[in-house]
Amino acid sequence: MKTLEEQFYEYAVVPVVVLDDADDAAPLAEALIKGGLPCAEVTFRTEAAEESIRIMSEKYPEMLVGAGTVLTTEQVDRAVAAGAKFIVSPGFDPEIVDYCMEKNIPVFPGCVSPSEVAQAVKRGLKVVKFFPAEQAGGLAMLKAMAAPYTMLKFMPTGGINTKNLKEYLGFSKILCCGGSWMVKGDMIKNKEFDKITEMTREATELAAAARRS
């Protein structure tokens, strides 16, 4: 059985999904699987998020489904009960991190400063999210911030797309990148699942090339 970190490294890209209608969850999951990315971070900022996680987890047990934009411990409980295998928060919230760690729930808090990274290291976390990546200084900022923390890996998210993915994945401290360009809200609303599959496949090919180089 592969660890969560091994799965993330293998996928290299984690689609960050916003679902307004739970009816779109199953066809979206299928589109991602067909495109070679059986993985999704479903953001908890919509009413449909919880049910979408449940549908994806139950219909596609081979899929690695997590909850993103988790802001409270109550949302942690709801997400995990629905089938989320990991929790992602946009910032470093000690309450959420400690709560997840007590319950052995994998958690990836957002960190954008050395002070936040230090808090993660202090708690024994091995992987953190770097968010919002591009807006916070991009790869140059991440490289500078990562230098003292040799034991830590990062999941940059925010502003990553086909133009800069290869550059990000070329940095050894990056476990995987979060991205929404292949699962844009308009494409989901318009039921363009074939296009999502196509763009997901393109992302996996790009990621595989980046890992090889």
Catalytic residue among 34, 41, 59, 126: 41
- Concerning whether 134 is annotated as a catalytic residue, the answer is no
Sheet holding 87-89, edge to edge: 153-156, 127-130, 107-111, 87-89, 64-68, 39-43, 13-17, 177-179
Between CA 29 and CA 35, with CA 32 as vertex, the angle to 5 degrees is 150
Collapsed DSSP state (helix, strand, coil) of residue 61: coil
User: Are the CB atoms for 185 and 22 separated by under 8 Å?
Assistant: no
* Number of Cβ within a 10 Å radius of residue 8: 25
Catalytic residue among 50, 85, 116, 129: 129
DSSP symbol at 174: B
Q: Exposed, middle or buried by CB within 10 Å (0-12, 13-18, 19+), for 3? A: exposed
User: Are the CB atoms for 66 and 85 separated by under 8 Å?
Assistant: yes
- Concerning whether 129 is annotated as a catalytic residue, the answer is yes
Catalytic residue positions, numbered: 41, 129
